[in-house]
Amino acid sequence: MQLGLIGLGRMGGNMARRLMAAGHQIVAWDRSADAVSSLSKDGASGASSLDDLIARLDPPRAVWIMVPAGDPTEQTVTMLADRMTSGDTIIDGGNSFYKDDIRRSRALAPKGVNYVDVGTSGGVWGADRGYCLMVGSSDDAFARLRPIFRTLAPGQGETLPTPSLDLSKTTAHEGYVHCGPPGAGHFVKMIHNGIEYGLMQAYAEGFDILRNAGSETLPPEQRFNLNLPEIAEVWRRGSVVSSWLLDLAARALADDPQLTKYVGFVQDSGEGRWTVDAAIEEEVPADVLTAALYARFRSRRDHTFAEKLLSALRAQFGGHVERPR
């Protein structure tokens, strides 16, 4: 199948190469001429501009966008919409806010241009492992793009389908799924990332407790000098907490047991905040996911004014003196 692809960063470039390896025809464009040139050497048809990309595609066209969420995606969708005709399809594979997807889909509908949002999970490992795809689109758009989704997805592999799942009615066991109309794909991916925050925070806190099991604040007989790389490794085998995230933690700890390469300044990419916003709108308690997001905020600060006020209050009501630094 022929597909236009805009944005040839780590994920976009890897996705293009995975598709080409399976025989799909990729027409690629990026603001970086070097990125286009590199992918052209691997077999892509390199476009010199957005207009050139559109001209190289046969109608009905399908163009996949892999650029940062927010203004870059908004501008790209707008520019594509101005150049596309009825029956064409715009696919946003980034991490856009699902309400933006709904708005864009409605704006494109009068022109007959399909809008598809694809929550894409897999990161830099996806080129080899495949990408988990959560799709929001019309039924017809999903059906047309299935060859692309099937190639990008990991496939069933060694993970057997859940016994009670009706495989005649879903593609979920292949690693891609039609979640619903436009917006649904990025909504599901948003919650996926919120859960990811919670899982990562749970591992982080658990290993921090293990690391401090030898603290001098504990009675000598309760102190343990634990080997974290070995614990991470053994948990990968038969444990109920095993996961790909644990695999990555084990790798990081084996490479650098003290994690000396990191300072612990943890960014968030937006989906965690949107997840908490959605929980508030739905009036759904999300204690763990919210706390995990706040932990990332806390990681970026030294002692806050709030913590200074807490110390001041303890000193005022109880004469408690702070420990010297």
**Which residues are catalytically annotated?**
189, 196
* Ramachandran class of 182: left when φ > 0, alpha when ψ lies in -120 to 50, beta otherwise: beta
Candidates 134, 114, 105, 8; CA nearest to 66 is 8
- Count of beta carbons in the 10 Å neighbourhood of residue 278: 17
Residues facing residue 6 across a β-bridge: 29, 65
Candidates 228, 229, 226, 227; CA nearest to 251 is 229
Q: Compute CA distances 275 → 96, 219, 272, whole Å.
A: 13, 42, 5
Q: Which of the 8 DSSP states describes residue 216? A: T
**Environment class of 232 (CB within 10 Å of its CB; exposed 0-12, middle 13-18, buried 19+):** buried
State residue 46 phi and psi, 5-degree precision. -85, 125
CB 272 within 8 A of CB 289: yes
**3 state SS for 50-87:** HHHHHHHCCCCCEEEECCCCCHHHHHHHHHHHHHCCCC
Candidates 141, 212, 236; CA nearest to 180 is 141
Angstrom distance (rounded) from CA 46 to CA 8: 11
Residues with Cβ within 8 Å of residue 94, at least 6 apart in sequence = 7, 65, 66, 67, 68, 69, 73, 120
SS3 category, 272:
helix
Q: Order of strands, edge to edge, in the sheet holding 45-46?
A: 45-46, 25-29, 2-6, 62-65, 89-92, 114-121, 132-136, 176-180
